[in-house]
Every structure is written in structure tokens, then in C-alpha cells.
Amino acid sequence: MVNEKHEPLFDFVAQQIACFLDENPEMDVTDNVESNAPAPASFIKLGFTFSFTYDSHSVSHGTMLQWDKGWDIPDAIGRDPCRMLQDAIDRQKLRVRVTALTNDSVGTLMAKAYTSSEASSPLIGAIFGTGTNAAYVEDLSRIEKLPQLKKKFQSEDSVMVINTEWGAWFDGAPSALPGCTYDAILDRDSPTPGDQLFEKRTSGLYLGELARLAISDMIACNQLQMTPRLESPLEKPYAISTSFLTMLAASVEESNEAKWKSLKESITNTLNADNVSTKDAKVLSQLAAAIMRRTAQLAGATIAAVIIHTGRIAPVISRPKSSMISKRERWCQWEALRSLVCGRGRRQIVDDTATLDSDSTLNSATDCIEIGIDGSLFEYYPKFEEEIRKALRTVPRIGLEGESRVKIGLAKDGSSLGAALIAQSVP
């Protein structure tokens, strides 16, 4: 969405809230009979999931910093997302108060904590869908951005949820992120070149476009028999969905000829192309599987970084203190994982290690490192968790034993459920 003013977007959201309340009259509230004005308790509390970068000032206030994923509304920058939505709600004359502002990853972490059966609290809430992000639980004494609080809470068991905005983690060091020619083209032609580089390699908004660029190049080089018709999605940027990519990737190990015939028909219809051969179908399946595998293993790499940073791996696996690890050693560890994810120099690493059953091997709250993930990539690509675990095992400071302690679970609709939980907890 692109617009000069913020009001159209927030008015639309407020209108949808009004429609929801009209369709669910049982949620209506009544005025306080002892006052001419509605009392605060007579308002419905609303949690606002805002999946764009903002600076958080409190549970219900923040400052909008930037848009991404193709959105651009300059008028909203520097404003409070809660205030913009509340103003739109007030224009609809609704008895609704925005009491919590959160993003999708924080909401996912909260939802996972609410539904978890583990004695320990979940460590990470992550999103792998249209976009990607993660939030994790950090000891308050370790947060350098809060020097005035660091000393006060140094000896106390106090924690804070940190929104990582890891979609932009590599923007300052792009050479550390595995990439190829098509990644460079996608970034160059995007509305935000040089920004959100990790997100552009790991989120559903971009993966279909990455495949489109590669397929178009193979057709131009006569490596595929298929020929696109007029107005094929191959001719239009971002016209190929990641759901199509997921379907192709899931077929890569298919041996039934009847299934390949069905897949060719799907490719013909989806890409609006003629002369799709069985070889074409197999090549496209391998391409899709490679893209999805890289996405999941990059996800595993960043999850590993958060786990190591928090020190949650330490109780069972001894590791050197971070101050004793040289920059070179850290770089070598990242390069080892980078080689796995990128498949550099035609080198292929095969990991057939069976993942240990966390539920049967963990015997205490300190053993379990629980992670909640929401998003279509994790939910619908069958091998996403498997590839995440392969990446975790490859990191020397986690390995097989550490990976076996990680419990990963789907937190479906966690971003919205978590926001609702936070909103209801506000007095």
C-alpha cells in the first residue's frame, strides 16, 4: 500500500472493527449508569498488532520508524500507531480503546507462553510468513540500551521481551549473508534496495519473486522447454505466490509418474505456459526445494544466534565465555553455517541425523528451549522444521545435543492472540 496520508489505512481498519462489532452484538458494552460519559471499564480493550518497525515507549505507545514489504505512507513516520488507530476508531464512534501495541513476533511469543505446557517460559517467538521477525526474552541487566536500569536490576531475576527486527540484521554487513545473482536483482529492483536483506531471503513476499527471476533466466538460456504465453505471471514481478513454490518443493522427491503429470498441469495453469515437460517440472521442483531449504536453514542460523546470545544453551553444554571467543573464531563459525546454507562450490552436505524426540528426552525446565513459530512458511512447508534443525546441529556451540533440547511448535494465529492477551492484561 502506498499513500501520502495515514488516515485512509487506519480508517479502513476502524471500519472493519465496526463491521465485526455489528456482526457480534454480544460483545457490545453499556454505559456507566452513574455517569453521563462511559467509564473506562465500559470500553472494549483492543490489542493492535503492528508488523512494521516502531520504537516502543510503553505497552500502548510507540513511534513509527519505517515501512517495509512494499508499504509506504510517509505521513505515518514519527507518529504513534496506537494514536492513529484510536483516532480512526473515535471517528467511528466505537466504544473501543487500544490498550496494547505489539508486533507479530512479540504476540507470537506471548501466545506460546500462554499455551505452553512446559515449566519454563518460551525463549523465542518467530514469524516466517509474508515477512519475518523474532522476539525473545532477555535478562534486563544485559540490555545496554537501558543503562539507568541495568545497575538497578543487575542482581534481580528481571526480564524484558526484545523485538529483534532481524529482517534487517545483515543490512550493515551484506557480505555475511549467503546470496546469489537473483538475490541481488530482487534487492536492486525492490522499493527498498539495501534494506531488509535477511527478510528478502526468508519471507513469503519475496520467495516467489526469487523463483520467477530464476525461471525466467533459465527460459531465456534455453534450459527449459516450456514457453510462457502472453500475460504469463513470469512476465510480471511478484506474480508468483510462495504457496505455488511450496507445492513444487514438496514434490521434489516424487517418483510416481501420474503425480508428475498432475504437477505439469499445475505448472501449465499457474504459469500460463505451454510445452511443460517432465524435465521442466523436475527442474522447477528442485529450484523450489533449494529456495525453501535455504530459507529454513537461514532461519535456523538466526535462531541459533539468539539461543547462543541468551546463554540458555549453557546449563547442559559447556561453552566458553563470549569474551574469550575471538572475532576470527566467530567468523569461522558463521562461515561453516554459511557454507551449509549456500551450498558454495557445488559442495553438498548431507545430514541424515535423526532429530531426538524433545518430549521424551527433556527432564527439567532448564533443559527445554521452547520456540513458538507462526506463519505460512513454517505451517505449510513440511520440511521447514527439519531444515531448521539441520542448521542448529551444524552450529558448533549447539550441535546435536543442544538441538535435541530445542522444542519448536506452531503458534497458529499467535500474533493476534498474543496481542489480545496483552490488551486484556492492561488495567
DSSP letters for 186-223? HHHHSSSTTSSTTHHHHSHHHHHHHHHHHHHHHHHTT-
Question: CA angle 374-379-382, nearest 5°?
Answer: 145
Could you give phi then psi for residue 65, rounded to 5 degrees? -105, -45
The per-residue pLDDT for 170 is 94
Using only C-alpha atoms, what is the Rg of the chain? 24
Q: Residue written as cell 541481488?
A: 184
pTM assigned to the model:
0.81
**Number of helical (H) and strand (E) elements in the chain, helices listed first:** 16, 11
Task: Tell me the sheet residues that pair with 227.
Answer: 274
Q: Give the whole-number percent of the chain exceeding pLDDT 90.
A: 64
Task: Tell me the sheet residues that pair with 409.
Answer: 372
Residue 129 neighbours by CB distance under 10 Å: 21
Scored b (16 or more CB within 10 A) or e, 210-241 reads bbbbbbbebbeeeebebebeeebbbeeeebbb
Scored b (16 or more CB within 10 A) or e, 25-43 reads eeeeeeeeeeeeeeeeeeb
Residues 351, 393: contact at Cβ < 8 Å? yes
Integer Cα distance of 169 and 195 in angstroms = 9
The per-residue pLDDT for 366 is 54
Residues 97, 46: contact at Cβ < 8 Å? yes
211's grid cell: 523463483
Question: Among 194, 199, 60, which Cα is nearest to 131's?
Answer: 199
Residues 411, 373: contact at Cβ < 8 Å? yes
Integer Cα distance of 127 and 106 in angstroms = 10
The per-residue pLDDT for 23 is 92
Integer Cα distance of 267 and 244 in angstroms = 9
Contacts of 335 (CB under 8 A, 6+ apart): none
Integer Cα distance of 209 and 199 in angstroms = 13
Question: Among 314, 298, 300, which Cα is nearest to 139's?
Answer: 314
220's grid cell: 531465456
Integer Cα distance of 180 and 186 in angstroms = 10
Question: CA angle 323-324-328, nearest 5°?
Answer: 100
Q: Average model confidence (pLDDT) for the chain?
A: 84
Task: Tell me the sheet residues that pair with 128.
Answer: 132
Could you give phi then psi for residue 203, rounded to 5 degrees? -125, 155
Integer Cα distance of 183 and 197 in angstroms = 9
Q: Residue written as cell 505455488?
A: 244
As a whole number of angstroms, the longest Cα–Cα distance in the chain is 79
The per-residue pLDDT for 323 is 42
The per-residue pLDDT for 6 is 93
Q: Give the whole-number percent of the chain exceeding pLDDT 70.
A: 81
Average pLDDT, consecutive stretches of 10 residues, N- to C-terminus, the chain (427 residues): 89 95 80 46 88 87 86 91 95 94 92 81 94 92 71 68 93 92 96 93 96 97 96 95 94 84 95 96 96 97 96 62 46 48 38 48 64 94 95 95 94 91 89
The per-residue pLDDT for 71 is 85
